[in-house]
Chains A and B, each alone.
Chain A
Amino acid sequence: MILFELVDYEILRVIWWLLLGVLLTGFALTDGFDMGVGALLPFVAKTDLERRVVINTVGPVWEGNQVWFILGGGAIFAAWPPLYAVSFSGFYLAMFVVLAAFIVRPVAFKYRSKREDTRWRSSWDWALFAGGTVPALLFGVAVGNVLLGVPFYFNDMLMPFYEGSFVTKFIGLLRPFALVAGVVSFGMLLMHGAAWLCVKTEGVIAARARRIGTYAGLTAMGAYALAGLWLAFGIDGYVFVGEVVTDGPSNPLYSDVSRSASWLTAYAERPWIAVAPVMGFLGMGLAIRGLNRGGEVSALLFSKLGITGVVSSVGLTMFPFILPSTVDPNSSLTVWDSSSSHMTLFIMLICTVIFMPLILAYTAWVYKVLWGKVTEEEVRANSHSVY
């Protein structure tokens, strides 16, 4: 027996589906507050010193946080190559916009305070605002589109094709339901950023963050409820037709898929998954309460809980579908037919088992070293070395 066959192909696929969720959640929890802080920047901080305080709350950590995004890309490439190929090229222009945001953001963090010039600094502040807002919104829009299905199909050589011109491919992403999903993610990450600022700042900045964070959280909760109702009554789901082979070759065309009444039938089949949306509502609700009542760490922790609930609810609702196709349901990507080979999944799992605990350990250590509030005095005292 060969080593990698120690773990069944089917189980490896489920593990990698879970790890995909872990990576997306990790990204939302860590880089999520960086994006939220960026989007909040012009509103919670008015003077240059206030803005520097806000920026320096994430200054030492955004770089590590952003790796969740990059690792997410790499892991999708390694574990779900068809998903990587279809989604990144299918959302081409949207991806470009997200890339632009993720390129401008690091530069803005690093370069903003390297010159005294007011115009220079305010330009970078807006870059940080855009760099936080645009991806926070577009990630939700992307998830909304995944739930709706995307117009792609494969030919016999498994080359992916997309219907629609380049304009409709971009504008077409901005469908009403997808925009609601965008509001969920944007509101959620604003709330998360606000909760972070409450932990890391004090005084007027924290007070503004509490107010905006409360409204953002309430909006996210409302949009999340609306999206749930919409899914229940207005959007078709997808199901397998006939026998489901869970350890066969990764060829999406080998399975038969059709539209179903609703994604939410999953809750009838697997009632336990209701724990995810409950966690989402509960977490966001308690985070809002924490923001209102002066909780600091509690608000941040509940915000994390809420985000984890919302992200997992999408995955659990769709399982085993990952990216359904509207024009050719058989081309839909699922957990059972769009993974890497048995061997690659196994090797990648070994690497993850070795390195993920290390990453979590040293990230935790870095956060511990940097624990404590960022103050105006501190920024003033280290004016030359901080952002």
Chain B
Amino acid sequence: MELDVVELSRLQFAMTAMYHFLFVPLTLGLSIIVAIMETVYVMTGRPIWRQMTKFWGTLFGINFVLGVATGITMEFQFGMNWAYYSHYVGDIFGAPLAIEGLMAFFLEATFVGLFFFGWDKLTRLQHLVVAWLVAIGSNFSALWILIANGWMQHPVGAEFNPDTMRMEMTSFFDVLFNEVAQAKFVHTVSAGYVTASFFVLGVSAWYLLKGRHIELAKRSITIAASFGLAASLSVVLLGDESGYAASHTQRMKLAAIEAMWETHDAPAPFTVVGFPDQDARETHFAVEIPWVMGLIGTRSLTEEIPGINELVAQSEENIRRGIIAYDALMTIQAERENTPEVARTVFEETKEDLGYGFLLLRYLDDPREATDAQIVKAAWDTVPTVWPLFWAFRIMVGLGVMFIAVMGFFFYRSSFKGQSYPRWALWAAVAIIPTPWIAAEMGWFVAEYGRQPWTVEGILPTAMSVSHLSVADLLITLTGFIAFYTVLFIIEMGLMLKYIRKGPYLDVAETEAWQARHEHRLRTHDGRGPFAPAGASAASALDTPPNATPAE
């Protein structure tokens, strides 16, 4: 077991996955925002909404393509770098990935081309359906990927088969309706909606500050603020749901996030800030709020949340049982033709802990010969490094609360203050564009780093999951990915900024003509608004010029 290949493989996976997730959240949210805008266009027939659809659609396209391109790496990297993982859990983990392709990715990828190329070839309604299919496809993609990831966090519906030396599916239903996966799905797509809302809000705010594209910007802010407020509430709520799921599915992760070294009498306090010290196994300068952790984590006043020390003691027991399972497995393998009944029975009783036995492979080739000291060491390996989790989690949650506040403010101004926004708020909206990405990356970091030392919680240690590769192999690809991805990132940002600066450039004449008519109508109606009953029929006649064709 070469540690270097393991560390480099982890680094490469983390890097490529986090890079991929720079583009995914914007795709998830912007696809829906664009489809909403196009829906308004089809319902009202007002060219401004088509221009908005095309403008945000252009930015969507620049982002979408990199999400797709970097997603290919994710689909193939399991086999390339995590060969034993792929063999060991492919029977379960591969299925959602394949279904993602069948059900979701084909849909979004087939129709995204038509979204950009089909404006003149489709009727309005057909094009709207295409836009929604892209959005639905993108979001379904997320569902299947998170079902796969949820299974790594909480492996249900599967058991080990000693004949094939791998985990095999016992219930597809359980894999599908895994509570961790479901909470993660809604949490993650909501994060995507928040990201896109802040993106639209920030870019539009910049236009307002510069006095450009006012009509487009105001309408965009209204959409972004309403959608973003709902999404911000949802992301925090479902984040809480994920945390609650972790309290009975991934207790070590939860304890590490909270830097809870000792089991506290229920209900446990929540540590707002502090400095976790892994060696001393305590948190210095902790500022605690009583009861909160117990309430969030267990939703009761009496249930305890086990601390790290207690969980390590449990891991030690698991490892000892894992050794028995490993021993039985070796007997079954050696005498495959006529396995002694007792070995089968012992294995059935202990196989749930087989993965814990594998933790010892880091220290010796045969877990059965492990000393007590090695077992204790392996048990402590089940604790991820606490401080990065502790802080990443707090940054994420802090940002989440801020999202609600910002979106609430803009929603209020757009709904009740006649779409007037103070300049400082607009500048702030521009400045905080990157924050949803930071929160999303922190979230993934907590989810994946917090699962260590496992690739599949309690089943397969990370150190065992890698391919038989050399350090040189890894260095070549890692350098390649870094160089390649950096160049792509610079190009993408350059194009994004260029097209934001350029602003909406399609259908300009038509939109301006409509704008003039629209303002004229607002004036002639004495500011009673476009939906004033007296002029309703006249207004709609003005909306659609006589020579407009329905399929433009």
Contacts and interface: CB of A to CB of B under 8 A. Distances in A.
A311 to B, nearest CB: 19
Contacts of A251: 163-165
Contacts of B477: 92-93, 96
B480 A71 contact: no
A67 B110 contact: yes
Q: Report the interface size class on chain A.
A: 35 or more
Contact of A71 (B70, B102, B169): B102
B119 interface: yes
Contacts of B538: none
A85 B164 contact: no
B62 to A, nearest CB: 7
Interface string A63-80: 110110111011111110
A107 B113 contact: no
B166 A347 contact: no
Tell which of A86, A159, A162 has the most Cβ of chain B within 10 Å: A159
A81 B480 CA distance: 27
A320 interface: no
Interface stretch (A6-14, A208-216, A262-270, A362-370): A362-370
A106 B488 CA distance: 11
Contacts of B107: 362
Interface in B62-76: 62, 65-66, 68-73, 75-76
A76 B109 CA distance: 20
Interface string B91-113: 11111011111110111011111
Contacts of A161: 468
Nearest to A71: B101
A102 B166 CA distance: 31
B75 A366 contact: no
Given A77-B90, A102-B69, A166-B470, A352 B102 contact: yes
A244 interface: no
A62 B472 CA distance: 34
B133 to A, nearest CB: 8
A251 to B, nearest CB: 5
Contacts of B498: 114-115
Nearest to A160: B83
Contact of A166 (B65, B101, B119, B473): B473
Interface residues of B, number: 77
A118 interface: no
A343 interface: yes
B408 interface: no
A264 B443 CA distance: 55
B40 to A, nearest CB: 21
Contacts of A233: none
A160 B169 contact: no
B110 A341 contact: no
A120 B531 CA distance: 49
Contact of B83 (A88, A165, A344, A370): A88
Nearest to A159: B84
A78 B97 contact: yes
B121 interface: yes
B480 A158 contact: no
Contacts of B476: 93, 96, 166
Contact of B69 (A74, A107, A351): A107
Contacts of B94: 74, 76-79, 81, 84, 340, 344
A162 to B, nearest CB: 6
A87 B79 contact: yes
A338 to B, nearest CB: 10
A243 interface: no
Interface string A306-345: 0000000000000000000000000000000000110110
A96 B102 contact: no
Contact of B62 (A66, A104, A110, A340): A110
B470 A369 contact: no
B427 interface: no
Contacts, number: 253
Nearest to B112: A63
A384 B508 CA distance: 12
B376 interface: no
B272 interface: no
A99 interface: yes
A95 interface: yes
B491 interface: yes
B333 interface: yes
B20 to A, nearest CB: 11
Contact of A86 (B83, B114, B161): B83
A360 B415 CA distance: 45
Interface string A100-118: 1011111101110011000
B84 A114 contact: no
A250 B165 CA distance: 9
Contacts of A158: 87, 164-166
B525 to A, nearest CB: 35
A31 to B, nearest CB: 11
A33 to B, nearest CB: 14
Contacts of A92: 80, 467, 469, 473, 477
Given A92-B469, A251-B163, A341 B91 contact: yes
A88 B91 contact: no
A355 interface: yes
B154 to A, nearest CB: 19
A61 interface: yes
A22 B120 CA distance: 34
Contact of A88 (B76, B103, B106): B76
Contacts of B90: 77-78, 81-82, 84-85, 340
A171 interface: no
B506 interface: yes
Given A160-B83, A249-B163, A341-B169, A67 B106 contact: yes
Nearest to B499: A114
Contacts of B97: 74, 77-78
Contact of A384 (B95, B98, B470, B505): B505
A169 B476 CA distance: 13
B78 interface: yes
A351 B97 CA distance: 12
Given A60-B116, A366-B113, A73 B79 contact: yes
A356 interface: yes
A222 interface: no
B122 interface: yes
Nearest to A249: B163
A386 B117 contact: yes
A359 B102 CA distance: 8
B484 interface: yes
B116 A107 contact: no
B214 interface: no
Given A60-B114, A107-B69, A363-B106, 19 more contacts: A61-B113, A70-B105, A75-B98, A77-B94, A84-B86, A99-B72, A104-B69, A105-B69, A106-B65, A107-B66, A111-B65, A157-B165, A158-B165, A165-B470, A166-B473, A251-B163, A341-B91, A359-B110, A384-B505
22 contacts: A60-B116, A61-B110, A63-B68, A66-B68, A67-B101, A67-B105, A67-B109, A70-B105, A71-B105, A74-B75, A78-B95, A88-B80, A89-B80, A106-B69, A110-B61, A160-B468, A166-B472, A344-B91, A352-B102, A359-B102, A359-B110, A362-B110
Interface of A: 59-64, 66-67, 69-71, 73-79, 81-82, 84-89, 92-93, 95-96, 99-100, 102-107, 109-111, 114-115, 156-162, 165-166, 169, 249-251, 340-341, 343-344, 347-348, 351-352, 355-356, 359, 362-363, 366, 369-370, 382, 384-386
Interface of B: 54, 61-62, 65-66, 68-73, 75-76, 78-81, 83-84, 86-87, 90-95, 97-103, 105-107, 109-114, 116-122, 161, 163-166, 168-170, 172, 333, 467-470, 472-473, 476-477, 480, 484, 488, 491, 495, 498-499, 505-506
